[in-house]
Amino acid sequence: MKACKKNGQYLMIQMPEEIDHHQTVQIRQAADESILEDEVRDVIFDFGQTRMMDSSGIEIIMGRYRMISAFGGQVYIMNADTRIKKILFSAGIQKIAEFIN
């Protein structure tokens, strides 16, 4: 998938402008393949382009966290704007993911 870039042990996932269930189904498939096959350790979600997100955005982060945390992996969240941050915080994502910039 175009939206995933692997850099060494990191999987970088470029989140779309609008995150809903339909979008996350695709991202999830691609991400899980990458995590399993390439033995990725950490996952970075880049929300730089994202303007709208429903709870499927929470689900995709929590799901990837469950997969990789068992093996010592860490989830990072990048470039989330104030609105997206507020949504992520209201679901307690700061407890499982680290916000970078």
Partner 1 sequence: MAAAFLSELNPKLEEIADVKTAVSEAVINAVIHGYGMEEWDGPTQARRKSAWIHMESGLSDNVFEVSIEDKGCGIPDIKTAMQPLYTSRPELERSGMGFSFMEEFMDEVKVESTFGEGTMVQMKKKIGIVEQMEEE
Q: Compare residues 49 and 69 and give the one whose CB is closer to a second copy.
A: 49
H/E/C letters for each residue in the chain?
CCCEEEECCEEEEECCCEECHHHHHHHHHHHHHHHHHCCCCEEEEECCCCCEECCHHHHHHHHHHHHHHCCCCCEEEECCCHHHHHHHHHCCHHHCEEEEC
Q: Among 8-16, 34-42, 48-56, 68-76, which window interacts with partner 1 (CB under 8 A)?
A: 48-56
Least distance (Å) between residue 48 CB and partner 1: 16
Q: Which residues bind partner 1 (CB under 8 A)?
A: 18, 20-22, 25, 28, 51-56, 58-60, 62-63, 83, 87, 90-91
